[in-house]
Amino acid sequence: MLTISLFAPSSFLVQTTPVLVMKFGGTSLADPERILAAIGLIDQAADEGFSPVIAASAMGKTTDALIDLARQLDADIDGPDRDLLLSTGEVVSCALLSAALNARGRPAVALTGQAAGIVTDQSHGRARIQYVAARRLRSEVAAGRIPIVAGFQGASRGGRVTTLGRGASDTTAVALATALDADHCRIYTDVDGIYSADPRLVPAARKIAQISYEEILEMAALGAGVMHARSVEVAGRNRVPIEVRSSFNSNPGTWIMHADQIDIETGAGVRAVVDDADVAQITVVGVPDRPGLAHSVFAPLAEDDISVDVIVQNISHQGLSDISFTVQRSDYEKALAATQLTAREIGAQQVTSDPQVAKLSLVGTGMVSTPGVAAGMFGCLAETGINIRGITTSEIRVTCLIGEAHLAKGARALHTAFGLDA
């Protein structure tokens, strides 16, 4: 759990103007032209009476380039060395933004995650923020300087540089907003906001004006690349409003907030259709019906750090049952090999698999009080000629496993059936 350490601010650290945390993603800082555009947005926020604090991602595909560089050197880089290498991308962005702002008469200071007081655990590559010691940040803001903080990184208590996982600059931004009691956190990206479906699959998808933390968490968990899930967890726990908007235009974005702050009609029923094609299915056929065998199937996967999603187990017939589950495609070969070994050990009949499946989901907090959503979804897919291979649900989500070839057709049909078309 993230704890925010503000320390006891002395009188000279009193902040009179509201803080606005602005996070710029890699596409928003991809080249000098985009960096200058980001500076324009920072200037605009300052002119509007905010004290900007910036969380910066690495430029464009810098992180991928650094990983590729290590591969070219045939270096099996991991742990602390990998974190130190990958953290340099965000540091470059910070230095460039700070230098450009200072050159234009807007005082700024570039800070690594460690210098900004971001303290994490020691889990290299996927560290979690333990607390933010915000005295340095508050001092810089009170002095009229704009802190430019490297996203995606921090340091353990022992002083080792750590990284938070790909896409975690969002988490950095929300942690800073929490620590500084910011007015809100603004996430700049290459899209106008959050849509009711992927516009590339569903041309009728529309931008959502307001959405709850819970809905975004479900969407992120289902594969929608809208926000880093941990950033939403931190924002929801601390009630930090987030606005997701484009750095390429001035259009209003999408506000992420607590469900009780959302307009009643806006929050009704199904809010979005979420698709995920990064799915592979594995089925263990003819598992003996004995206690503990399900654990035997999934324990090796957990030990290999493989996340399992949609799980379906049929009712036992003649002492045998089938267990089916999904994994990300990057884990498919590893998961299949481990499951085949387990199947032999427990006496299962065989293992079948399909690496070309997909998930379609309906998400919305209003689904709790809206009867018939699941039935409507199943009926819509049936009418569209799409077979359902598995089902999983939560209070605000229904997910169906289908063949990947039917993904676009199913997404469009559901979007229309539940009244989400623009």
By mean pLDDT, which of 87-96, 219-228, 279-288, 370-379 is the weakest?
A: 219-228
Q: Which residue has the tokens 């690594």?
A: 112
Cα→Cα distances 194→39, 129, 265, 271, Å: 24, 26, 18, 11
- The better pLDDT of the pair 304, 97 is held by 97
- On the question of pLDDT at 35 being above 90, the answer is yes
Cα→Cα distances 17→13, 141, 264, Å: 12, 10, 32
Q: Show Cβ contacts of residue 153 under 8 Å, excluding neighbours closer than 6 positions.
A: 83, 87, 90, 112, 113, 114, 118, 161, 162, 163, 164, 172
Q: Show Cβ contacts of residue 73 under 8 Å, excluding neighbours closer than 6 positions.
A: none
By mean pLDDT, which of 223-232, 341-350, 367-376 is the weakest?
A: 223-232
Residue 157 tokens, joined: 């208590």
The alpha carbon torsion through 70, 73, 78, 84 (nearest 10 deg) reads -50
Q: What is the pLDDT of residue 400?
A: 95
List pLDDT tens digits, range 162-189. Answer: 999 888 999 999 999 999 999 999 999 9
Asked if residue 308 lies in contact with residue 323, where contact means CB atoms within 8 angstroms, the answer is: no
How big is the chain, counted in residues? 422
Asked if residue 410 lies in contact with residue 386, where contact means CB atoms within 8 angstroms, the answer is: yes
Q: What is the pLDDT of residue 212?
A: 93
Are β-strands 350-363 and 272-288 bridged in parallel, bridged antiparallel, or unpaired?
A: antiparallel
Q: What is the pLDDT of residue 266?
A: 53
Phi and psi angles of residue 187, each rounded to the nearest 5 degrees, phi first: -100, 115
Asked if residue 152 lies in contact with residue 169, where contact means CB atoms within 8 angstroms, the answer is: yes
Asked if residue 359 lies in contact with residue 393, where contact means CB atoms within 8 angstroms, the answer is: no
Q: What is the DSSP string of 21-89?
A: EEEE-GGGGSSHHHHHHHHHHHHHHHHTT-EEEEEEPPSTTHHHHHHHHHHHTT----HHHHHHHHHHH
Q: What is the pLDDT of residue 216?
A: 93
What span, in angstroms and rounded, lies between the C-alpha atoms of 397 and 363? 5
- Average pLDDT on 47-67 reads 94
> Element (H or E) spanning 141, and its range?
helix 135-142
Alpha helices in 265-398 (DSSP H): 293-303, 332-346, 373-383
Total-model pTM: 0.85
Angle (nearest 5°) at CA 101 between 95 and 106: 135
Cα→Cα distances 334→279, 330, 340, Å: 14, 8, 10
What mean pLDDT is reported for the chain? 91
Torsion sign (Cα): 398, 273, 57, 167: positive
Q: What is the pLDDT of residue 232?
A: 92
How would residue 264 be classed by pLDDT, with cut points 50, 70 and 90?
A: low
Q: What is the pLDDT of residue 76?
A: 75
Alpha helices in 180-248 (DSSP H): 213-221, 229-238
How would residue 14 be classed by pLDDT, with cut points 50, 70 and 90?
A: low
Cα→Cα distances 338→193, 285, 394, Å: 40, 15, 29
- Average pLDDT on 296-308 reads 93
No. of H helices and E strands in the chain? 11, 19
By mean pLDDT, which of 1-15, 93-107, 250-264 is the weakest?
A: 1-15
Angle (nearest 5°) at CA 137 between 133 and 141: 155
How would residue 395 be classed by pLDDT, with cut points 50, 70 and 90?
A: confident
Q: What is the pLDDT of residue 314?
A: 83
